Chain A
Amino acid sequence: MCDHTNKNIYLPYLATVEEVIDETPDVRTLKLVFQDEQVRDSFNFRAGQFAEYSAFGAGESTFCIASAPTRKGYIECCFRSVGRVTEELRRLEVGDSIGVRGPYGNSFPIEQFEGKNLVFVAGGIALPPLRTLIWNCLDLREKFGEITIVYGARTESDLVYKRELKEWEERGDVRLVKTVDPGGNSSEWDGRVGFVPTILEEAAPGAENTIALVCGPPIMIKFTLPVLEKLGFTDEQVYTTLENRMKCGLGKCGRCNVGNVYVCKDGPVFTAKQVKAMPMEF
């Protein structure tokens, strides 16, 4: 057995796949429970942090911890199978073993968000890094003001966490605006049609005493930031998470840097102000 008191920073914890959920045809959620009881109790993380997930024999892959820190006893990750490791992770079935190293990186300064309105803006597979925070805030609902979620994907089937979207829609205390690109909608689609930034502009959440949290493909972020600016958000009011290729996650292996900023240590959570100060290397 693996001794977790040892000092090997590259040694993962073992976890068991407890549930496999297909979000879209190629995006999958794994619900994981640590095999070591002590680790299960002591593994604490904050919304925004990430981990390195092992498919033994294939290697490690980096994703955010997609479940909320307020939900104890398990963690979830959500990934699209595009590479060697993610394809291997996709082959895992309930009861299989997986490796987890983490939690790594900084997190959303949730304490600073208390008493404020929150606007979540996400596109496609980029909802998971915000979903951890959304549930974190919903589980402590009374601490926050209005919560707006603008979420879009290319097609209806590309939307992840469909069950939860429904749940959020049905809750009286969340405003969910979901959208798909034109052509990606069926006749039963009850959401909006259009690109996320356009829909965000139409939804027009107020900027006063509000924090915006944006996560999505670079092109979406590029068009979303000017919309937020137009709505009156300053760059300090806008948060996002970056992802770059990582190996160690520990500030050693030297590849995730954007200029002198190490995404694994200084990030992955940044304000728009910080991102704008970075060179274009992400």
Chain B
Amino acid sequence: MGKTEGCKGLTKKYLPLVLTPKEFKFLFFSKVFVSSVLSVLSVANKGFRMQKYITEQNLNTLLDKLIAEGKRVVAPRMNAGTPLYEPLKNSGEIIIDQLPRRSGKEAFFPLCEDIMSYTKEGQKVELKDIDPSRFPETVLVGVRPCDAAAIPVLDAVFSWDYKDEFFLERRKKTTIVGLACTKADDACFCTAVGLSPSDTKGSDLFLTPLEGGGYACETFSDKGETLINSHAGLFSEPNNAKTVALAEPGTEAFDLQKVKAWLDEHFEDPAWDSIATRCVGCGACAFVCPACHCFDIVDEGTEKSGKRRKNWDACGFWKFTHHASGHNPRDQQPKRYRNRIMHKFKYYDDKFGQTLCTGCGRCIRLCPVGIDIAAIVEEISKK
């Protein structure tokens, strides 16, 4: 029954060092190239603020100290045989070598949370608000770059116009400690969507494992600096140790602009049927996704009292858009799957200028019927 997420089947791929003039031209004018140059520049501009070194033992000590201080330390740990980002009881619980089954978004956007409670007495109703100031100070540790990068992407939707304090207050109170990724399989495609196993996007403090043990530490925000400064004794000056070999996902970069251009013009297209007829309409892909953020709001309780809750929802469910009248604008599975792809690679870009996918590959590994979003987007980019 064991499900493993090892790196079996990983084929290392070395990028050809020599390009033909045609290839060079293609690369040069593609959005991917431009954006990667821009991102290199922006990293160079912003850069890290502080560089340190920490041993594995001191990292554990740090986590235990944070827990002792009353902070919520969320990191990959085993829950009944399944790796998940969950609050640690002690540093011994952390598992560093496995990608958690669900993404890190739940530290900010839990599966389910109360958003108010009600009590009824005769004709009177009393509402009780949730006090977001009670959300605990949190350190989210061991976050893979694909998970960390999704958090600033989600900032856009939860903070535009109306501000979702449930997400934003947790965001404010959480320090994200990213971890460079050393293991990839052929479902990984972070490099295809403009990220990489060493991408620091979203991280306040970023750890890179070094040969000979320990981690290189780089900070990218005040929060990251504060974390180091408040436990300065556990960190030392950077040494010259080499970075361990990082993961090398084999998927080539998508031309996201080209993908979007095709999506702009092909809401109606026979391809949707061939892509999504096999989709069985569950929510697995959305629930394990670091960027999917659709939710439901429901009341649960009795006539007299109960809670209003916000919980994860998925556009793959027929019920998601079903009107009480019986009408359903997305009445067939391919229409629902189309919305998934459109939301990730077009709508979110239209609205917020970002792609709603970080290439973690979870939906590919866990789709019951083997739907492969990387293969689909690659196919679209070739159309």
Residues of A at the B interface (CB closer than 8 Å) are 1-3, 6-12, 14, 16, 54, 56-61, 82-86, 93, 95-97, 99, 218, 243-245, 247-248, 250-255, 257-260, 262, 265, 279, 281-282
Contact = CB atoms under 8 A, between A and B. Distances in A.
B interface: dominant SS:
mixed
A10 B360 CA distance: 31
Closest 7 CB pairs of A and B: A83-B324, A254-B294, A97-B125, A279-B267, A260-B347, A56-B118, A250-B162
Contacts of A85: 324
Interface in B91-134: 115-116, 118, 120, 123-130, 132
B223 interface: no
Interface string B329-350: 1100001000100110011001
Contacts, number: 135
B350 A247 contact: no
A82 B125 contact: no
B310 to A, nearest CB: 7
A253 B309 CA distance: 13
B75 interface: no
B325 interface: yes
A253 B299 contact: no
A61 B324 CA distance: 10
A258 B125 contact: no
Interface stretch (B43-51, B57-65, B243-251, B313-321): B313-321
10 contacts: A8-B129, A56-B125, A56-B299, A59-B297, A83-B324, A244-B329, A251-B162, A259-B267, A279-B268, A281-B267
Given A2-B129, A59-B308, A260-B342, 9 more contacts: A57-B299, A84-B324, A99-B127, A248-B297, A250-B161, A252-B295, A253-B294, A255-B321, A281-B267
Interface residues of B, number: 56
A interface: dominant SS:
loop
Contact of A14 (B125, B129, B329, B347): B125
A20 B88 CA distance: 54
Contacts of A96: 123
B123 A281 contact: no
A254 B109 CA distance: 14
Contacts of B164: 9, 250, 252
Contacts of A10: 115-116, 297, 308, 310
Given A2-B127, A56-B306, A259-B342, A252 B162 contact: yes
A221 B290 CA distance: 40
Contacts of A279: 267-268
B162 to A, nearest CB: 4
B14 interface: no
